[in-house]
Amino acid sequence: MYRVHLESFQGPMDLLLFFIRRDEIDIYDIPIAHITREFMDTLDQARALNISVAGEFINMAATLMQIKSRMMLPHSLQDDLGDNVDPRTELVQQLLEYQRYKELAVDFRQLESSRRRFFPRSDNRRQFDSDEDPGVYLREISLYDLARRFKQAMDAMPVITSYDLRREPINLDDQKAILISSFNSEGRLLFTDLIKKLNSKLEVIVTFMALLELVRLNQIKLLQRRIFGDLEMRLIVHQA
């Protein structure tokens, strides 16, 4: 008794076709009990050798068991016309379809081998240079290429492994003080000039909040001469 090595098969269909061929089984009249036993034995052997059995094999095992149980019930499946349907039909169709492409794969293997005996000059591959014609230049680029480049770029991003978290030394009161001290001797300040002094987004945001706060406290007033024009700030001098 020799072992059937699971890993040498391209999946459960391949394994079933192997049994069918080995045991000279008529594919249109598969002895389900026999083939289910063979299939399960092979899975058990693989497990005994600590080989993990792919989900597809388990799935096929379940399908085989289901067919086997249906075979024992008389007329369990009927088609639209009320005729009895052999529970094996769907599996047989699948096996035939798969078998067809498995054979084609052999043909393609032959094509591959014979093609490999020809060598084109183009091993020093240059694409047609087409600076002036982006249509030609880009013609080989597919959506997949773009997605792949994007992923490469994302993967190449520097990975920050340790995080250095610090509280940003920015608070509302400080920014209010900075804002007030930024006014010129005439008590004027342009918003754009103020922004130029700031370094981070957070600083801009907090400074803007400080600005609103100062307006609310009636310490400064805002003027805008044109729509979307610069904001002009005036310091309000409170008479004591």
Partner 1 sequence: MIDHEIEYIIEALLFAAPEPLTQNRINLIFEADRPDLAEVVEKLRDRYLSEGHGFQINNVAGGYQINTRPDYDVYVKRLLNKSGRLMLSPAALETIAIIAYKQPLNRYDIEAIRGVDCSGVLKTLLTRNLIKVKGRDEGSGRPLLYATTDKFLEYFGLARLSDMPQLKEINELTDTDEAQGEREQVDAFE
Residue 84's φ and ψ, nearest 5 degrees, are -70, 140
List 2, 73, 74, 101, residue binding partner 1 (CB under 8 A): 101
Q: How far is the CB of 57 from partner 1 (least distance, A)?
A: 9
Residue whose structure tokens are 């084109």: 120
d(CA 12, CA 39): 9
d(CA 57, CA 39): 9
Strand order in the sheet with 231-235: 188-190, 231-235, 220-224
Sign of CA dihedral 100, 103, 108, 109: positive
What is the β-pairing status of strands 220-224 and 188-190? unpaired
Stretch that binds partner 1, among 42-50, 94-102, 194-202, 203-211 (CB under 8 A): 94-102
List 123, 155, 164, 186, residue binding partner 1 (CB under 8 A): 123
For residue 100, state whether it binds partner 1 (rule: CB under 8 A).
yes
Site pattern 143..182 for partner 1 (x: CB under 8 A):
xx---x----------------------------------
For residue 126, state whether it binds partner 1 (rule: CB under 8 A).
yes
Q: Binders of partner 1 among 17-46, rule CB under 8 A?
A: 17, 20-21, 26-28
CA atoms within 13 A on the CB side of 114: 5
For residue 128, state whether it binds partner 1 (rule: CB under 8 A).
yes
List 44, 90, 103, 230, residue binding partner 1 (CB under 8 A): 103
Rg (CA), the chain: 38
For residue 70, state whether it binds partner 1 (rule: CB under 8 A).
no
Compute how many residues bind partner 1; rule: CB under 8 A.
48
d(CA 75, CA 87): 9
List 66, 78, 84, 127, residue binding partner 1 (CB under 8 A): 127
Binding site for partner 1 (CB under 8 A): 10-13, 17, 20-21, 26-28, 54, 56, 60, 94, 96-105, 107-109, 111-123, 125-128, 142-144, 148
